[in-house]
């Protein structure tokens, strides 16, 4: 028997998932900048801009658009390097599979996942 979620339940679930991803990313980056002795290393400060749009229609179907932007920095250069080594098609496929498996853990299906990586030239804003 398939359980049907109300629009409010879907919205809350999507919002919790997005907030969790951003929070875990922040914690991961913070903990990577601390030495084992607990002393802070010198690390570069960078800016990340996240845009999240969630649309829920009257039938309870949800659509979400997430964009991460990294202005020029060492982190953006590292991300550009990773994309250039693996290729945008591999990054797009990996991102799509990650989203599907993440939502499948909650018993939800995802469809029509698209991913676009832009801003790969020097000085551009990296976008995912």
CA–CA distance, 26 with 98 (Å, rounded to integer): 19
Is 71 within the bounds of a domain?
yes
Q: Please choose, from the candidates 43, 54, 86, 67, the residue with its C-alpha nearest in 3D space to the C-alpha of residue 126.
A: 67
Exposed/middle/buried for 32, CB within 10 Å: 0-12, 13-18, 19+?
A: exposed
Tally of structural domains, the chain: 1
Mean pLDDT to the nearest integer, 85-111: 82
Is 2 within the bounds of a domain?
no
Domain that holds residue 95: 7-127
Is 99 within the bounds of a domain?
yes
33 vs 4, more confident: 4
pLDDT (0 to 100) of residue 1? 47
For 55-86, the pLDDT digits (tens) are 888 887 778 888 888 888 888 888 888 888 88
Is 90 within the bounds of a domain?
yes
Task: Please provide the average confidence, as pLDDT, over all residues in the chain.
Answer: 77
Exposed/middle/buried for 126, CB within 10 Å: 0-12, 13-18, 19+?
A: buried
Is 16 within the bounds of a domain?
yes
- Residue 88 φ/ψ region, left for φ over 0, alpha for ψ in the -120 to 50 degree band, beta for the rest: alpha
pLDDT (0 to 100) of residue 5? 62
Is 1 within the bounds of a domain?
no
20 vs 5, more confident: 20
How far CA 121 is from CA of 12, 34, 76, 80, 88, in Å, comes to: 37, 31, 10, 8, 13
Residue 17 has pLDDT above 50, yes or no: yes
pLDDT (0 to 100) of residue 79? 85
Residue 29 has pLDDT above 80, yes or no: no
pLDDT (0 to 100) of residue 27? 65
CA–CA distance, 110 with 100 (Å, rounded to integer): 6
Mean pLDDT to the nearest integer, 39-45: 65
Three-class secondary structure of residue 6 per DSSP: coil
**pTM score:** 0.58
Task: Answer yes or no: are the C-beta atoms of 72 and 89 closer than 8 Å.
Answer: no
Residue 15 has pLDDT above 50, yes or no: yes
């Amino acid at each position: 028997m398939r359980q049907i979620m109300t629009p409010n339940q879907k919205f809350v679930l999507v919002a919790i998932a997005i907030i969790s991803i951003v929070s875990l990313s922040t914690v991961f980056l913070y903990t990577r900048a601390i030495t084992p002795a607990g002393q802070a290393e010198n690390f570069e400060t960078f800016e990340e801009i996240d845009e999240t749009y969630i649309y829920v229609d009257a039938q309870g179907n949800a659509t979400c658009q997430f964009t991460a932007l990294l202005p020029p920095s060492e982190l953006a250069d590292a991300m550009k390097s990773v994309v250039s080594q693996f290729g945008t098609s591999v990054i797009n496929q990996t991102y799509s599979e990650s989203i599907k498996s993440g939502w499948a853990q909650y018993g939800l299906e995802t469809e029509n996942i698209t991913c676009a990586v832009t801003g790969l030239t020097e000085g551009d804003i990296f976008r995912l």
